[in-house]
Each structure stands twice: as structure tokens, then as C-alpha cells.
Amino acid sequence: MTTADLKTYRAVERKPLMGRYHGYDILSMPPPSSGGTHLIEILNILEGYDLRKKGPASPPTATEKNRNGSQCDSTAKPASAGEWNFWNTTQ
């Protein structure tokens, strides 16, 4: 990154992504950031589990799934491997 890059950079204002999780409205970053899309997708997956009933260290919870590298972790890793607009998709 150069000084010229910083001088010519222009921020782009985008409409936030919207989702819901247990009755809460979730507003997050839209593409080209992948974080907002993945946050909402992971919360949608977790909504199917009664995490309070299971407790924070039981196998069905997000904490344990991340420790074991299963569903939540494996859902998030490939999705955040790179921002789509930085990849050359014409090859």
C-alpha cells in the first residue's frame, strides 16, 4: 500500500445486511465484506439449537462445536477464506 493508494481511496457506503436471531434484528456488513453474511448464516444455524438448555460446555453448543472443529467452525472457515471481489474469477 502506498501513499497514493491512500490518497485515491474512496469509501463506499452500502446498505447493511439484515437478519433476525431469536427476535433480535441483526444489522451487519454487506459484501464485499464476508463477515456480515457469515455472521447471519451462523446465527441462523445456531437458532435451531436450545443453547441455554444444553449449557455452554455441552456438545451441541457453539462453544463445544468450535473446540471440536465441527459444524460452526467448519461453516465459518471456508466462507472467510477470502473476499470474493479480490479473486480473479475469469481464469
* Residue 2, domain member (yes or no): no
Task: Report yes or no: 18 and 26 within 8 Å, Cβ to Cβ.
Answer: yes
Say if residue 78 is preceded by a cis peptide, omega within 30 of 0.
no
* Residue 5, domain member (yes or no): no
Question: How far apart (Å, rounded) are the C-alpha atoms in residues 14 and 1?
Answer: 24
* Residue 30, domain member (yes or no): yes
Question: How far apart (Å, rounded) are the C-alpha atoms in residues 79 and 91?
Answer: 21
Look at the chain and report how many structural domains it folds into. 1
Query: Tens digit of pLDDT for each residue in 38-75?
Result: 999 999 988 888 877 877 666 555 554 455 454 444 44
Q: What is the mean pLDDT of residues 4-13?
A: 92
pTM: 0.53
- What percent of the chain is modeled with pLDDT above 70? 60
> Could you tell me the residue range of the domain that residue 65 belongs to?
11-82
